[in-house]
Structure 1
């Protein structure tokens, strides 16, 4: 259950990044709500996951999901660069996260 909570926390981290992007563009109440809800739910799920998982592992995987997810959202929906080196480094982050799971 902790791993599922950690995955959900990472998804909410990406939601908060979308909120930040909307705040940058729109500065409306919905954008602030999206950001605040995403970050609060992300931290709640992360803290639940950290009851069972080591702090270092949980935090590393949470930030990895947020980093890769935010980058993918930027590439798919906001026209950010799709250069092969960006994709390579995202794959390296995912490999590191899988490695942490395997040894936890």
Structure 2
């Protein structure tokens, strides 16, 4: 269950990153509320996962999901570069996340 919670925490982290961009563009209360709720949920799920997973592994996977997911969502929703080098390095981060899961 800890691994599921960790993935959910990473997904909420991705949503939080999207909300940072939305708040920057829209400057409204709804975006601020969604930002606070998504990061709050992310931290709660991360804390739950860290009850049974080592801190270093949990944090590395959480940040890997958040960083990669944020970059991918930026490509999809905000027209950020889809250069093959960028995609390669995102794949390397995701590969490292999977590798940590396999050895933990």
Q: Fold conserved (TM > 0.5)?
A: yes
Partner of 2:51: 51
Tell me how far 1:65 sits from its aligned partner: 0.3
Partner of 1:101: 101
Partner of 1:16: 16
Which runs of at least 4 in structure 1 moved beyond 2 Å after TM superposition?
A: none
After TM superposition, list the pairs within 5 Å mapping 1:1-104 onto structure 2: 1-104=1-104
TM-score, scaled to structure 2 = 0.98
Q: What is the alpha-carbon distance in structure 1 between the residues aligned to residue 30 and residue 10 of structure 2?
A: 21
Q: What is the alpha-carbon distance in structure 1 between the residues aligned to residue 52 and residue 4 of structure 2?
A: 12
Q: 1:33-76, CA deviations, whole angstroms, 9 ceiling, x for partnerless residues? A: 11100110000000000001000000000000001110111001
Gaps of 5+ in 2: none
Q: What is the alpha-carbon distance in structure 2 between the residues aligned to residue 27 and residue 69 of structure 1?
A: 23
Secondary structure, counterpart of 2:90 in structure 1: helix
Indicate the RMSD between aligned Cα atoms, in angstroms. Answer: 0.5
TM-score, scaled to structure 1 = 0.98
Q: What is the alpha-carbon distance in structure 1 between the residues aligned to residue 39 and residue 25 of structure 2?
A: 19
